[in-house]
Amino acid sequence: MDSTTTTSQCFRFMDLPPEVRKEIYDYFVAVPKNDAGFGEEVVAIAGVGEESYDCFLPMQRVDVGFVEELAAISKTRRSLLNVSHQINAEWSPTFFRTTTIIVHGPRSEYLGGNDRRITTGRALSFEKAFLKSASASILSNIRRLCYDASIHGRFESVSYQRVTTVNFPNLRQFARILDRYRTDLSSLQDVELYARWQIWHGGNRDLRPWGLSNAAAADVWARASEGGLWEEIEQLLVRRNRRAALTGWSVVRKVNICHFRCPFPSQMLCVHVHFSKRHPGHGAGESVADPGIVINSLTLKNAHQLHQGGEVSVAHG
């Protein structure tokens, strides 16, 4: 076969019919499996933040319908955004409709070999580095946002009575950003705010494992709320007295407690506030009186397996 024949049989991808290109784009919606066989269905936008928890063991988060790996993610979903301008224009709406964007506030990190701590990220990075530069098409196709309000850094044993690991100032800032962009983010359907921290048992006699009960969930929530600050953030987003970013949305609170059974027992606590857009006629959004709770147990020997100890209903009327 000569070069003339070979050239005549070649064709450009963009010459394919639109429906065929759409089928090919749909292939890239799937997330590649990681070494443990899980799909990483939560993708962070490069330059805004990456989901990375080097000190946590891999585990499956079964309570919210997707799998999350609490370890450094080495793979993310394949993207076609940088292939060409034409492909970017066609692929971008699908990519952002099917992607959960995770936003991080500032993180405190320790430099290796010494105790010097540095702060990475800025409270307004999400707006300055992403929202302001994103096209109207991108913003109008975003459906899911998560904000990690954890204060990252070296984990230390903290007392049972004191929890100071939620970055409430940045949560307020994030709420204001959503308010400023509520018209641009016209397809937004789900917003999740969360914070997590780890408590090492060690010699702390005040620390006792929480049991599976609504009272335990309410206790963890109260300690993380620092006098009602979580409720304040909720009201910034869904308040009824005047227009807010998520007015009329439903609100569900959840507490996760993971017990690590190992030579140095610890607990990982996580509080979530999940906002979801209701269809017209379903009424205004309200917070549940008490958060639901999920209790999990994890061992070092079988770190990839999660044994769910039970779940209390979190149905919201």
pLDDT digits (tens, 9 = 90+) for 282-314: 444 454 555 665 555 444 433 333 333 333 222
- Range of weakest confidence among 49-58, 178-187, 246-255: 49-58
Question: For the chain, how long is the longest CA-to-CA vector?
Answer: 81
* Band (164; pLDDT cuts 50, 70, 90): low
Tell me which range, 41-55, 240-254, 259-273, is most confidently predicted by mean pLDDT: 240-254
What's the rounded Cα separation, in Å, for the pair 278 and 248? 7
pLDDT at 32 over 80: no
pLDDT value of residue 19: 82
Q: Which of 293, 289, 225 is nearest to 257 (CA)?
A: 293
pLDDT value of residue 143: 92
Per-residue pLDDT reduced to its tens digit, 207-258: 555 566 677 777 778 878 877 888 888 888 987 656 788 888 888 888 887 7
When pLDDT is averaged across residues 39-59 and rounded to a whole number, the result is 32
pLDDT at 74 over 60: no
pLDDT at 188 over 90: yes
pLDDT value of residue 317: 21
pLDDT at 145 over 60: yes
Q: Taking the C-alpha atoms of 34, 37, 38 and 40 in order, what is their torsion angle to the nearest 10 degrees? A: 20
Where in the chain are the domains?
Answer: 33-76+99-311
pLDDT value of residue 115: 53
Tokens of 174: 């994030």
* Band (178; pLDDT cuts 50, 70, 90): very high
- Range of weakest confidence among 50-54, 113-117, 167-171, 291-295: 50-54
What's the rounded Cα separation, in Å, for the pair 284 and 251? 10
